[in-house]
Chain A
Amino acid sequence: MSATTFPGRSAAARPSTRSRLQATFNKRALLWLAIGLFLFLYIPILILIIYSFNDSSQIGLWAGFSLRWYGELFRNQAVLDALKLSLWVALWSTLISTFLGTLTALALERHNFWGKITYDAILYLPVIIPDIVMALSTLLFFVVLGVALSKYTILIAHVAFNISFVAIVVRARLADMNSTLEEAAADLGANEWQSFRRVTLPLLMPGIISGALLAFTLSLDDFVITFFVAGPGSTTLPVRVYSMIRFGLTPEVNAVSTLMFLGSTLLVIISLVLQRR
């Protein structure tokens, strides 16, 4: 390489004025499109957040800034109970589905067995098929088996769809991981369990944690499936919000939605950061 080549100095590499204009224009257009899309997606949420701080009890009327509705929220026992159940379901479904999903990913990525391709395809189904179909089929499943609906049926349903998400995230990480590392561990005298504990698991951890966070978020946010399989009295936060809306939009609903939005966003960001690493 010669020291006198500067970027853009070579005549051949210099774009014509016209194509440069074209490129600038394209870049501008793309930027505006991105901004437009962003606004389209987030203006409704922004309005929701702003109005959660509205002092007025009427939705459309701005009466000054206040944390009044957040206060009300934390005095509302029904909302607190719903939050508690949501967290209970999210925590347990995350733990169980992370464990099973990780095992599934390991089986699919590192082992060969009969029916693997079919199993692989089926794994993606919960991600693809509409929630309503999942909800109906899960409900039907419980009805056919004669299982009484309760908070446990919610948990089972959440575990069922979360396994797929966890397995997909963990598997992506596993596929990136060189399997010769496991051979190297075996070569140095590690049996399968030692090799998993000392090499595979530590390297897989960011993937497992990000899968778990995703599962936690999905469980917290789920409405459709929960709505169908919840037993009487088992109300999660999204279901509670839905029933609150039926009595009219109140700033309290805005407040609880704002909190849910912030919570989920935080989890998703952590999950994305971990996947990058």
Chain B
Amino acid sequence: MSISVKLDHVKKQFGDFTAVHDLELEIADGEFFSMLGPSGCGKTTTLRMIAGFEQPTSGELYIMGQPVAGIPAYRRPVNTVFQNYALFPHMTVAQNVAFGLEMAKVPKPEIEKRVKDALALVQMSPMSERKPSQLSGGQQQRVALARALVNRPKVLLLDEPLGALDLKLRKAMQLELKQIQSDVGITFIYVTHDQEEAMTMSNRIAVMSNGYVQQIGSPREIYEHPQNRFVADFIGETNFLEGKVEEVNGVVKLAVGNSHVIGRSDQELSLGQKAYLAIRPEKINMYPPGKVTVRDIELDAEQIADVFGGRVPSGPFDIKQVLKQEHESMYVNGNVAEAIYIGTDTRYRVTILGDQQLFVRTQNFGDRYDTTFEVGDEVLLHWPAENARILTE
């Protein structure tokens, strides 16, 4: 797989302010790559450096293996879909789409054909004679996409292209964009502050904050193995418990108050160091404490049978007996402080270890299967070590 865009220690300063610090990126040919981060973290600046609208203060930028320093925007093999579309208001849709081809001196008949194909690709053929002001936001977005794609760029840059659309249209366009990208096979570099959008579409995501790349990885890697607190917090929802590293031995033991919790870590940790246990609300199991029957819980029947000498007990039994047997996992008692029903899930706030709060999500399967808890109920929270990450600051 070849590299289409490479940023080598790229840095951008505006006066004293550093918008992008020492950026290292390699984007593969044909990849759908997203830059994700809160507003002001330097995403647009990075994109503008690739497009050629800004010059890096230092570092080197390569497109298709060629260093592009000093090459003006109009000679770079990239095209941009701007956040506000930037369609030319005095030209029709067809003229807008033809603009890039005319600049490239493509013969007239070929221009006509390619414009037609591009408009068909984004389903805008019937509107080709309209002016941009006669189009809805979603339609303008499609035209902007066609205007860029028609040039068959090596790389397409998209700066929050769906930001101005309403939720439903945005969701539909996400899937459509992804489909178009895999059809045309062009490298997409996609900027967004919407984590769900990035997760839906991308092959890989670079999570950015304050001008730094915090982590690069597939959506799954970033969600399941966040490398620091920022990433864990920014992507999805995460509970954090602060503590001191007590034991590092495959499984990490973290002292919290006068108890301890366990998780796993990819980081180098030293004993006594301050660290956080990060665990997502849906990765915590919640059980009624004390005696339960098999019907009440979601544990594997075989696993239960193992504990009770090969037979699943027909009457109530102590759930701790089962959980204790499970390899590298932990449980802790808690009290339901809040229970919010949100349709697909129920979201509980549970107090553990005296004063710590954990959010827990349980999926709603239907009345027959669900065990619901009320505020004030005693519960047992349980998670296997690999469900929780131990992170430093």
Contact = CB atoms under 8 A, between A and B. Distances in A.
Genuine A/B complex: yes
Given A183-B53, A184-B80, A194-B103, A189 B86 contact: no
Contact of B80 (A181, A187, A191): A187
B335 interface: no
Contacts of A145: none
A36 interface: no
B90 A203 contact: yes
A188 B86 contact: no
Contacts of B312: none
Interface in A187-206: 187-191, 194-195, 198-199, 202-203
Contact of B103 (A180, A183, A190): A190
B88 A187 contact: no
Given A181-B88, A202-B90, A187 B51 contact: yes
Interface in B167-189: none
A203 B91 CA distance: 10
B99 A185 contact: yes
A188 B147 contact: yes
B64 to A, nearest CB: 16
Contacts of B84: 178, 180
A186 interface: yes
B73 interface: yes
A194 B100 CA distance: 11
Chain A interface bracket (under 10, 10 to 19, 20 to 34, 35 or more): 10 to 19
B67 interface: no
B53 A189 contact: no
Interface string B40-82: 0000000000011100000000000000000011110011101
Interface in A67-117: none
B89 interface: yes
B47 to A, nearest CB: 11
A115 to B, nearest CB: 20
Nearest to A199: B88
A220 to B, nearest CB: 31
A183 B88 CA distance: 11
A188 B153 CA distance: 10
Interface in B80-130: 80, 82, 84, 86-90, 99-100, 103-104
5 contacts: A178-B84, A181-B86, A187-B80, A189-B74, A189-B75
Interface of B: 51-53, 72-75, 78-80, 82, 84, 86-90, 99-100, 103-104, 147-148, 151
Interface of A: 178, 180-181, 183-191, 194-195, 198-199, 202-203
Given A189-B103, A203-B90, 6 more contacts: A180-B84, A185-B99, A187-B73, A188-B147, A190-B74, A191-B72
